[in-house]
Structure 1
Amino acid sequence: MSTIAKIEIEPTNPSDLKRRSLLQLAAGLAATATAIQTTAAISSQATPAATGKPGDFHFLSGNWKIKHRRLKDKEWDIFEGEASVIEILGGVASVEELRIPARDFSGMGLRLLDTERKLWADYWVNGKNGVLTPAPSVGSFVNGVGTWESAYKDGEQAILVRGIWDQITSNSCRWYQSISSDQGQSWQENWVMHWQRA
């Protein structure tokens, strides 16, 4: 991974302190509630490169503006959002609050490092229902590019999902997602997020 300037996030007002405390509490509760699920999910998938280490998501800490491009009904939907991300537990957890005000949408990304397996588990919580995804995507970074994969079924059809973090600098990065319905022989990109530090 490229050298990235260390960014410290310090709350500046009471509402920031409250938000940080709530995010830390949510991360701790989710980590406790899903430890068994994480182990099961990791062991049931093809094992990605075991290169995860504390601080891998340090680059994402801070406040961001995000340009989204999402494939919906074979058309690209373009919209903007924002996010606040904090790194906790000595770099073995990263908590993201994603907000899309124009769509009245919010959610939380929770990334946890299994330090023994050296793999990251990436969970999602939709702000509308507060439910943690039952199985995370699992992955790690290799040469500055992070790759996470998960699987689910759409009826009887097995679908693979791949999320990739790349183009990482001190002020920007990209995340994009692709899906495969043919066991990874071909992939269709369906979501791209360009992050710019606010």
Structure 2
Amino acid sequence: MTRSPIHDFDFLFGHWEVEHRRLTSRGVGSDDWDVSHGTAFTEPRMGGITNVEQHDCSERGWRGVALRTLDLTTGEWSIYWISDRDGRLSPPVVGRFHDDGCRLEGPDLDGERPILARFEWSRVNTDTPHWAQHFSYDDGRTWELNWAMKFRRTA
């Protein structure tokens, strides 16, 4: 029996402690990482075809929300991000799940610089899933990891 993609993000529902690793400077070959900690909460909406995840990172003074929507025709997920740092709803990354996670990609801007953005979820069958964001500044020929999150479920 094939599992419905409506349940792809069920692993993420609930409360989490999150370790954030972010490059201090993107797109310049930096290897200087800033590490901070925060919390997240994810819950489904509309029978599972959408879900909302809120992040609070008081150590660095920001909050953000991920909105995920499932296209019932294609089975692909779209993820939109908004942060209280700029209030801008980012263009979506789009993709689908495979055995141990998913990859989603789409065009965006890093400041004024056009990029391709890639989100990857892994370890989704554990209590410690990982998320990573990569940017490509050269139409997908190379990718730079610039943000990674390690989730740990809380009670």
TM-score by length of 1: 0.68
Q: Is 1:103 aligned to residue 63 of structure 2?
A: no
Amino acid corresponding to residue 151 of structure 2 in structure 1: W
1:53 CA drift (Å) = 1.5
Counterpart amino acid of residue 123 in structure 2:
Q
Give the Cα separation in 1 of the matches to 2:4 and 2:14.
Answer: 21
Query: Secondary structure at the residue paired with 1:94?
Result: strand
The verdict on how the C-alpha distance between 1:65 and 1:158 changes in structure 2, with shifts beyond 3 A counting, is same
User: Is the contact made by 1:52 and 1:120 (CA closer than 8 Å) also made in structure 2?
Assistant: no
- The Cα offsets for residues 90-120 of structure 1, whole Å up to 9 and x where unpaired, read as 1111100100012221111100001012111
Percent identity over paired residues: 35
Which one of the candidate residues 39, 64, 70 is aligned to 1:113? 70
Deviation, 1:196, is 0.5
CA distance in 1, matches of 2:16, 2:112: 38
Change (3 A) 1:129 1:189: closer
Indicate the residue corresponding to 1:185 in structure 2. Answer: 141
- Structure 1 residue matching 2:47: 3-state secondary structure: helix
Preserved CA contact (<8 Å) 2:42 2:51: yes
Matches within 5 A, 1:43-82: 53-73=5-25, 74=30, 75-82=32-39
**Residues 52, 115 of structure 1: 8 Å contact kept:** no
- State whether residues 100 and 125 of structure 2, in contact with CA within 8 Å, keep that contact through their aligned partners in structure 1: no
Q: Name the aligned partner's letter for residue 150 of structure 1.
A: G
User: Which amino acid in the other structure matches residue 137 of structure 2?
Assistant: S
Which of the pair is proportionally richer in helix?
Answer: 1
Q: How does the TM-score come out when normalised to structure 2?
A: 0.86
Work out which of the two has the higher radius of gyration on C-alpha atoms and give 1 or 2. 1
User: 2: CA distance between counterparts of 1:121 and 1:166?
Assistant: 17
- Would you say how many aligned residue pairs link Structure 1 and Structure 2? 147
Coordinate RMSD, CA, aligned: 2.1
**Larger fraction in strand:** 2
> 1:145·1:165 contact (CA, 8 Å) conserved in 2?
yes
Kindly indicate whether the alpha-carbon contact (under 8 Å) linking 1:146 and 1:166 is maintained by their aligned counterparts in 2: yes
Cα distance in 1 for partners of 2:89, 2:113 equals: 23
Amino acid at match of 1:152: D
